[in-house]
């Protein structure tokens, strides 16, 4: 009996020792995925240890419904930096889900289980079956607000007195315009429609091209105190993850614009630069209308 007791004590000590040596990673879901039929949505998490961000982790998640059997959904997270990780998940329905996270780094492993209440995202429109979500609209609303505040910031530095009052009054008048959901959805449709056309024409947005454009806009935001503050409040990693997707479409759209300019130059070899730009803009708008009419667009 004494031998068995000593063996059990020894095994218990080994277990306790192993537990004490496990990494003390803290995982928080900062943005839950949403349910949109036949569409992926993003999920963001942060991982810290002792209050400091943990980078370089390999993280996988497996989700299963708590009260129903819809199988499991698996996804792998991308390391965005500063302890933030993101993935895209296509869920079969809204409801209560259990997420099992597996974390690994340098041979150390940990498992975290978190229960999520997945909500129906509620699409506001669809383009060829691709949803425009409330989340998409809210991001566009934020971008418009961001640029509006940057414009106010610039004018406060540039003007004084009555000129400043007039300038600020103008930007005040634009608030209702940029907050209009129909206008925001229209902006999204314009960009996505022309990006689709770019892909149809065989164009690609390479990672290098997208990153180059992102660096340009990042430097502009970093020069603005109000932009830096607003992006920090919104969530930098979340903001730039959205911008990454945006600028893939922007690069494709720019290539379509370049195509139009070249066609105008060929048709008008003796035209001035001003004439070329005017005619190219007109032709681009005609092309946009034609492209939008060719798509299956559903407004909800």
Residue-wise pLDDT tens digits, 103-126? 999 999 999 999 999 988 777 888
User: Which run of H or E residues covers position 82?
Assistant: none
Looking at residue 18, what is its pLDDT? 40
Q: What is the pLDDT of residue 76?
A: 97
Asked if 250 and 213 touch (Cβ cutoff 8 Å), the reply is yes
CATH number among 2.60.40.10, 3.30.365.10, 1.20.1250.20, 3.30.70.100, domain 2-121: 2.60.40.10
Q: How far apart are CA 133 and CA 38, in angstroms?
A: 13
Instruction: Find, among 141, 148, 233, 119, the residue nearest to 188 by Cα.
Output: 141
- pTM, entire model: 0.69
Q: Please tell me the predicted confidence (pLDDT) of residue 21.
A: 60
Report the largest interatomic distance among the alpha carbons of the chain, rounded to a whole angstrom: 103
Burial class (CB in 10 A: 0-12, 13-18, 19+), 197: buried
Q: Looking at the domain that runs over 124-299, which CATH code has it been given?
A: 1.10.4030
Beta strands in the chain (DSSP E): 26-31, 41-49, 52-53, 58-65, 72-76, 78-81, 84-89, 95-105, 108-118, 123-127, 130-133, 297-299
What is the pLDDT averaged over residues 35-45? 85
Q: What percent of the chain has pLDDT over 90?
A: 77
Tokens for 247? 């600028």
Q: Average pLDDT for residues 251-280, to the nearest whole number?
A: 96
Judge whether residue 7 has pLDDT over 50: no
Side-chain-side CA neighbours of residue 254 (13 Å): 12
Q: Return the ∠ at Cα 195 (arms to 191 and 198), rounded to 5°.
A: 145
Residue 10 pLDDT grade (very low, low, confident, very high; cuts 50, 70, 90)? very low
- pLDDT for 129 equals 74
Is the pLDDT score of 258 beyond 50?
yes
Q: What is the DSSP letter of 248?
A: H
**Backbone phi, then psi, for 96, in 5-degree steps?**
-90, 120
**Tokens at 219, concatenated:** 């430097």
Averaged pLDDT, 281-297: 95
Residue 142 has pLDDT above 70, yes or no: yes
In three-state secondary structure terms, 108 is: strand
Q: Compute the distance between CA of residue 111 and CA of residue 73 in angstroms, rounded to an integer.
A: 17
Residue 128: which pLDDT band, with cuts at 50, 70 and 90?
Answer: confident
Break the chain into its structural domains and give their ranges: 2-121, 124-299
pLDDT 10s digits, 17-30: 344 467 899 999 99
Is residue 253 within 8 A of residue 191, CB to CB? The reply is yes
Distant-in-sequence, close-in-space partners of 176: CB < 8 Å, separation ≥ 6: none
C-beta of residue 244 within 8 angstroms of C-beta of residue 212: no
| Contact yes or no for 47/103 (Cβ under 8 A) | yes
């Amino acid at each position: 009996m004494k031998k068995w007791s000593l063996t059990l004590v020894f095994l218990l000590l080994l277990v306790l020792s192993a537990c004490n040596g496990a990494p003390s990673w803290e995982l928080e879901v900062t943005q839950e995925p949403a349910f949109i039929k036949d569409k992926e949505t993003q999920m963001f998490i942060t991982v810290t240890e002792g209050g400091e961000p943990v980078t370089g982790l390999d993280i996988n998640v497996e989700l299963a419904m708590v009260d129903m059997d819809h199988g499991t959904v698996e996804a792998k997270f991308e390391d965005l930096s500063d302890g933030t990780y993101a993935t895209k998940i296509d869920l079969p329905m809204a409801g209560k889900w259990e997420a099992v996270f597996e974390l690994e780094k340098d041979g150390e492993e940990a498992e975290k289980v978190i229960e999520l209440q997945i909500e129906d995202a509620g699409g506001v429109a669809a383009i060829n079956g691709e949803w425009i979500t409330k989340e998409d609209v809210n991001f566009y609303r934020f971008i418009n607000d961001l640029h509006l505040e940057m414009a106010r910031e610039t004018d406060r530095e540039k003007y004084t007195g009555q000129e400043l009052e007039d300038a600020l009054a103008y930007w005040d008048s634009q608030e209702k315009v940029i907050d209009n959901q129909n206008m925001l959805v229209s902006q999204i449709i314009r960009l996505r429609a022309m990006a689709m056309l770019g892909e149809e024409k065989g164009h690609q947005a390479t990672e290098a091209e997208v990153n180059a454009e992102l660096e340009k806009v990042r430097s502009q935001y970093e020069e603005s105190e109000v932009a830096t503050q607003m992006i920090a409040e919104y969530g930098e990693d979340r903001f730039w993850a959205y911008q990454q997707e945006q600028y893939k479409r922007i690069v494709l759209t720019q290539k379509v614009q370049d195509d139009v300019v070249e066609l105008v130059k060929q048709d008008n070899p003796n035209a001035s630069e001003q004439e070329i730009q005017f005619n190219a803009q007109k032709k681009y708008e005609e092309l946009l209308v034609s492209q939008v009419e060719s798509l299956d667009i559903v407004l909800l």
